[in-house]
Structures are given as structure tokens and as C-alpha cells.
Amino acid sequence: MSRIYLDHAATTPLDPEVLDAMLPYLREDFGNPSSVHTLGQRARGAIDEARARVAALLGARDAEIVFTGSGTEADNMAIVGATLAGAAPVDGPARANVVTSAIEHHAVLNGAKGLSRATHEVTLARVEENGEVDLQDLEQLVDHATALVSIMLANNETGVIQPLGEVVRIAHAKGALVHTDAVQALGKIPLDVRRLEVDLLTASAHKIHGPKGTGALYVRSGTRMAALIRGGSQERNRRAGTENVAGIVGFGKAAEIARVRLLDDGKRIASLRDRLEIGLMEAGRGTVLRNGSSNRICSTTSLSFEGVPGEDLLIALDLAGICVSTGAACAAGSPEPSHVLKAMGLSRDRVNGSLRFSLGRGTTAEEIDRTIDAVTATAERLRRKRSSGALTSRTAET
């Protein structure tokens, strides 16, 4: 039986049309976009077209898009680059501090470690039980020494959309820049950087059926940025290095497809997600880990299967041909409980029993029904084994 892939928040399969668009730039049109000759100019033209397509998906101007080597790099560039530029102002007081939240991706949390602790303070706003950043706490943390506020648009584990309008109001009132990591929101909800009023926004190609290793940072025109990678004058001196032409072309094509399909795909995927949640809750096997009031993207849901370690369930489902993920970030083989679910105040048992299901463009109703059956049967079997003492998982022990 064919494999069921429900881990689209981790990565998505490359769209065949995207691959077709990329192939010429890996074969005959291999020129360096900085070269003056015809092959170079063809590559340059392809990058320009891709930039316009990514800009169109974001409601940005072409010149405001900087291509990077990943979403992670774009997050680092935003946090470190904009903060360093703000710490040496041409006018007004120096601003050196960063305010972010406890549920950000590690690209943001660890990216901020690129700032010296001696000169920059990084503080984390709390989150509420429903997975939204606590705006009152945020408001207390932001002051006139804050260079940048970085709050993600949609969370990668829960899918919860953050109240960015309020975040922007709080940050701009104190004169701080706003960065949002929109990696999980891109292609799922309509995005318009002018309406969002953010200064910086991160995107990544491989979450929207584009290639891995290509990201972008939207930098509102007029925003000062220190370059992290120095060398040639590529990307208007903001990111040196010969461009990944095929990757960028793929990102452009994926962005164009996402823009056209966004609303139809969104409705269909949200109804399949609801079918999955209802099916698992009716079978008495799962609890959705968020408060019903929170706003979320269509594709991602985090469920907890109490009494069954998520890691054991994940492995058993993989053996049954179903790919999902736990909230755990595995580092050097040791599963860490999800920092996101912990920050939402969930009990240890709930966090350890959590699984993330993330649906995508290719997900079918038949796959969802097969998943409900498989999860229900597997969770039951693992629970029975556990109560008879046969199962001793690392997660259960810690």
C-alpha cells in the first residue's frame, strides 16, 4: 500500500512543474548571473522573473526581496543584520535589544544567539494556553531600547496564527522594527506585507513545493540591514555569493503556483484537517492541542494521545507507512519535549503524547480515513502494551 505523507510542515514534495522550470538552469543555462555574456544574462533574467513571482505572493516590490540559502538564513539575517544596523544609528538613540517569543522556531531563538550577550539583550514573551503570544507580556518587554520584535506569523507545531496586527502596533509605537517568520504561513493564507505593516518577513521555498536550500527575506525599502555574508555585490550587497539560480527559479515557480491555488487548496485542506481531528476525537484517541478560539492555518494540527508516548506512536505509524512527526526536536538522538507545547503550559503527559499531522496539496480523503483507522488501532495497541508493562519508552521514563 502506498505511503501516506502527513509531514508537510517539515517539507513538501517538489511540484513537477517546479522541477521542469528548474532543469534548464542545471543543464544548458548554467551561466553565472554576474557574467556579462548571453548565458549570464539568461540566468540574471531568470532570477529577476523569480523575484517578481515571490514578490507577488507577498505583495512586495521586487527590490524588497533578498534571496537566501534557507528560511533559517533569512531569520538570522533579519535578527542579526537589522539589529546590528539599528545598534549604530545615523539618527536617534541606539537600539540594541530583541524581543521575540517562547514559541519561535530555533532559527529565530538560536539565530538571536548571533548577537553578543554583552551588548544585546534578547527577551522572550510568554504565550497563552491557546498558542498565541501574550500581548500584555510583549507590551511590557518592548521599550525604546528595542531594535527588533520578531514574532512568527504561524507556528510550525500548532499552526496557530499570531495576532501580528497587535504586535506591529506595540512595536512601532516604541519605534522598533518588526520581523515575522512566515515560513509556515506562506502559501496557506493570503499575505500582503503592506497590510501586515511588517518591516521584515522570512519565507522558504521547500514548504510550498519548491526546492530545499532556498529562502527569501522581505526587507521593506528604507530598512537598514548589515550584511551577514560579505563578498561580491549580489542581492544588492545584502547577501554575497553566486546565486543558486535553479533553486531561485524553483522558488519563483512554486510561489506562482501557490498564489493561484491558495484559496482552493486552503479550503480543501482545512476540511480534510477537520475530518482528521473529528475522526480521531470521536474514536476517543486524540485531543487537539489548542484552544478552540485560536486562528490557525489550514494544514497543521497537533494532537495528544494521552498514555501513549508520541515517539512510539510515530515509529509504529512509520512502520505502517504513515509519516507524521512529534513536537520533539531530536538533537543527538535525545528527544527534547516540544518547547512550543511546554510554553503553552501543557502537562508533561500531553507534551510527551503529542503528534503533529500536517496535510498538503496531495492529501486525499481516503488517506485521512486510513490514517484515522491506523492511529486509532496503533494507539490502542500501544496503550494495552504499556499497561501490561511491555513498553518502556525513553519518553515515557523522562
Ligand X SMILES: Cc1ncc(COP(=O)(O)O)c(C=O)c1O
Would you name the residues annotated as active-site residues? 330
Nearer to ligand X, 44 or 356 (CB): 356
Nearer to ligand X, 44 or 179 (CB): 179
User: Closest distance between ligand X and the C-beta of residue 283, in Å?
Assistant: 29
The DSSP annotation for 153-217 comes to: SB-TTT-BBP-HHHHHHHHHHTT-EEEEE-TTTTTTS---HHHHT-SEEEEEGGGGTS-SS-EEE
User: Closest distance between ligand X and the C-beta of residue 212, in Å?
Assistant: 7
User: Closest distance between ligand X and the C-beta of residue 289, in Å?
Assistant: 17
Nearer to ligand X, 171 or 182 (CB): 182
Residues 6+ apart with CB under 8 A from 260: none
Q: Binding to ligand X (CB under 6 A): which residues in 214-233?
A: 215
Between the alpha carbon of residue 388 and those of residues 9, 76, 308, 381, the distances in Å are 35, 48, 13, 11
Contact call for residue 162 and ligand X (CB under 6 A): no
**Phi–psi pair at 354, nearest 5 degrees:** -95, 145
CB 254 within 8 A of CB 207: no
Total residues in contact with ligand X, by rule CB under 6 A: 14
Q: For cell 524581543, what's the residue?
A: 99
CA 214 to chain centre: 13
Nearer to ligand X, 67 or 95 (CB): 67
Contact call for residue 296 and ligand X (CB under 6 A): no
Residues 6+ apart with CB under 8 A from 93: 144, 145
Contact call for residue 150 and ligand X (CB under 6 A): no
- For the chain, count helices (H), then strands (E): 15, 14
User: Closest distance between ligand X and the C-beta of residue 384, in Å?
Assistant: 34
Nearer to ligand X, 71 or 327 (CB): 71
Q: Binding to ligand X (CB under 6 A): which residues in 178-217?
A: 181, 183-184, 204, 206, 215
User: Closest distance between ligand X and the C-beta of residue 346, in Å?
Assistant: 19
User: Closest distance between ligand X and the C-beta of residue 104, in Å?
Assistant: 8
Nearer to ligand X, 208 or 316 (CB): 208
Nearer to ligand X, 244 or 376 (CB): 244
User: Closest distance between ligand X and the C-beta of residue 322, in Å?
Assistant: 20
CB 320 within 8 A of CB 374: yes
DSSP state of 114: G
Angle at 201 between CA 219 and CA 40, to 5 degrees: 55
DSSP state of 292: T
Per CB under 6 A, the list member of 100, 156, 301, 378 interacting with ligand X is: 156
d(CA 129, CA 343): 8
Cell of 17: 512543474
Between the alpha carbon of residue 344 and those of residues 102, 291, 340, the distances in Å are 9, 10, 6
Q: How many CA atoms lie within 13 A of 309 on its CB side?
A: 19
d(CA 282, CA 113): 44
Q: Binding to ligand X (CB under 6 A): which residues in 4-43?
A: none
- Position closest to ligand X via CB: 71
Contact call for residue 131 and ligand X (CB under 6 A): no
Contact call for residue 286 and ligand X (CB under 6 A): no
Q: Binding to ligand X (CB under 6 A): which residues in 63-122?
A: 70-72, 75, 105, 107
Which positions lie near ligand X, rule CB under 6 A?
70-72, 75, 105, 107, 152, 156, 181, 183-184, 204, 206, 215
